[in-house]
Amino acid sequence: MEKDSNGKNSNRKLTRRKFIVKGDLWLLLCLLGVLAFHFFAARERKAEGERYAEITVEGQVDAVVSLSEDGVYTPARRPAVQIQVRDGAVGFVHSDCPDKICVHSGFLSTPGQSAACLPNKVVLRVALRKGQPVDSVTY
Ligand SMILES: [Zn+2]
């Protein structure tokens, strides 16, 4: 009986092994597919464009600042307002407004996000520029 079951076992093992090998192959292919997808998706995302911050004062574009270069920007017409780019994010770091809502908005990094200093009429907006990298502002 033991012999019999042993034989059955090894038989079963053999079939199971074959199945696993076949399954492994599919798993490997799936994994490769997923990896390739992520790889190309990441490349696509990188090629999508460069993030930049558009700073408007009184509704007029005052500056376009690349988020890939750290620095501090002060609009010429608003010397009391300081906007900083840090680690790919941008935000108000200083303002003479009474509420400081702009400073409390923190740092933005996602295209479409915006922050504003209403008393100073300064608006900060993160956007994505496709294609060529933006000309960065010299501070
Ligand atoms: Zn403010």
Chain CA centroid to CA 19, Å: 41
Ligand 1 centroid to Cα of residue 68, in Å, is: 24
User: How many structural domains are present in the chain?
Assistant: 2
The alpha carbon of 53 and the centre of ligand 1 are apart by a number of angstroms equal to: 17
Identify whether 136 is part of a domain: no
Does one domain contain both 74 and 117?
yes
Q: How far is the CA of 50 from the centre of ligand 1 (A)?
A: 27
- Give the separation between CA 106 and CA 50, rounded to whole angstroms: 21
Distance from residue 59's CA to the centre of ligand 1 (Å): 15
Q: What is the pLDDT of residues 51-86, one digit of tens each?
A: 999 999 999 999 999 999 999 999 999 999 999 999
My answer on whether 6 and 34 are in the same domain is yes
Would 139 be classed as within a structural domain?
no
pTM more than 0.85: no
Backbone dihedral region for residue 117 (phi beyond 0: left; psi -120 to 50: alpha; all else: beta):
beta
Q: How far is the CA of 136 from the centre of ligand 1 (A)?
A: 24
